[in-house]
Amino acid sequence: MHMRAVMLGFGHVGRALARLLLRKAEVLRTDYDLTVTVTGLATHSHGLAINPEGLDLAGALALVERGERLDALHVGSPVTDTLSLIERCPADLVLEATWLNPHTGQPATDYVRAALQAGRHVVTANKGPVAFAYRELQALAAERGLGFFFESTVMDGAPVLSVGREGLLATTIQRIRGILNSTTNFILTRLEEGTPFAEALAEAQAIGVAEADPTTDLEGWDAAVKIVVLANVLMGADLRPADVERTGITGVTVADAQQAIQAGERIKLLCEAVRDGAQVRASVRPVRLPFADPLCQVSRTSSAVTFQTDTLHELTIVEGDTDPTTTAYGMLVDLINIARGRHRLA
């Protein structure tokens, strides 16, 4: 099978995915009889490019890494914005890794909708479209026989959503608990080690875990968006991030973290979705967890999720050492799964 893909966003994740597509081209061909050409690329400030014959991905990487624009690779009449590129570029699949707005899910939700309406499968690493419009977008994809996959939106490349979708069949998930935000988990670990909050935050920024403006992480918005994705996709809920009862970690001090340790506990920013009759309630808040809790063992930038179901009492998935390549890997797996028709099972 041959797939023509459009990439929206060519930042950390988009570029890691481009490198992975180049590195795994032979494996895709031999193991899955799959070849992929990228026919379109869209960025916010580095230009846009379409080439129906396939863009030179290595050349695109070199251009952007030198701080230059992608327009030099464009063939045909000019393309001025991302929505027109989605509509005009010949493609079977859109790989979406643009900016996340945790309060609206835009403009990525519009991009995903436009891609599905134009008959393209969609793979996204962006939590926004899933947290704000999962039911609508999934219904649109199903109606058109298209794939809409988003494994990388929670715990990067770790197969959390696909375990839920393909492994936890004929079961009721009663509760999902998770440590889902790297910045806050890193800071909480450093507080336990005696590093003051501001210094721990600066370290998280220095290693590239936290953004220059870390509010979204510290106030629990990023974690809220992720628990909404899990609740809506795996528990049939219809929540939005504003529905999550949310407390961030800015009030936690070294003294709080160390007192917890002395009591055999750790403070963690716990994300929870709990079935309560016909409803699902979701929360994000710092809580003290006993050392015996598997989620308590997850330190620094690692993340974890525990499912409690009526058939498997407790299943925990832990992911360590994440980076943009692990996120890109989740997108690559989604692409392979669409190529082999797994979306028809969804």
Ligand X SMILES: NC(=O)c1ccc[n+]([C@@H]2O[C@H](COP(=O)([O-])OP(=O)(O)OC[C@H]3O[C@@H](n4cnc5c(N)ncnc54)[C@H](OP(=O)(O)O)[C@@H]3O)[C@@H](O)[C@H]2O)c1
Q: Which is nearer to ligand X, 13 or 295 (CB)?
A: 13
CA dihedral sign, ordered 307, 313, 315, 316: positive
Question: Which residues participate in catalysis according to the annotation?
Answer: 226
Residue 204 engages ligand X in binding (rule: CB under 6 A): no
Residue 12 engages ligand X in binding (rule: CB under 6 A): yes
DSSP calls for 10-68: -SHHHHHHHHHHHHTHHHHHHHH--EEEEEEEE-SSS-EEE-TT---HHHHHHHHHTT-
Residue 11 engages ligand X in binding (rule: CB under 6 A): yes
Residue 44 engages ligand X in binding (rule: CB under 6 A): yes
Q: Locate tokens 């529905």: which residue?
A: 243
Distance CA 160, CA 206 (A): 28
Residue 157 engages ligand X in binding (rule: CB under 6 A): no
Looking at 97, 161, 209, 234, which residue binds ligand X (CB under 6 A)? 97
Do the beta carbons of residue 326 and residue 338 sit within 8 Å? no
Looking at 151, 156, 217, 334, which residue binds ligand X (CB under 6 A)? 156
Enumerate residues 297-336 that contact ligand X by CB under 6 A.
324, 327
Stretch that binds ligand X, among 38-46, 237-245, 250-258, 306-314 (CB under 6 A): 38-46
DSSP calls for 55-99: --HHHHHHHHHTT--SGGG--SS---SHHHHHHHS--SEEEE---
Do the beta carbons of residue 239 and residue 256 sit within 8 Å? no
Q: Which is nearer to ligand X, 221 or 307 (CB)?
A: 221
Q: What token pair was written down for 212? A: 């220059």
Residue 185 engages ligand X in binding (rule: CB under 6 A): no
Residue 105 engages ligand X in binding (rule: CB under 6 A): no
CB of 106 to ligand X, least distance (A): 9
Stretch that binds ligand X, among 9-17, 138-146, 232-240, 336-344 (CB under 6 A): 9-17
Contact residues toward ligand X (CB under 6 A) are 8-14, 42-46, 82, 97-100, 107, 125-127, 152, 156, 324, 327
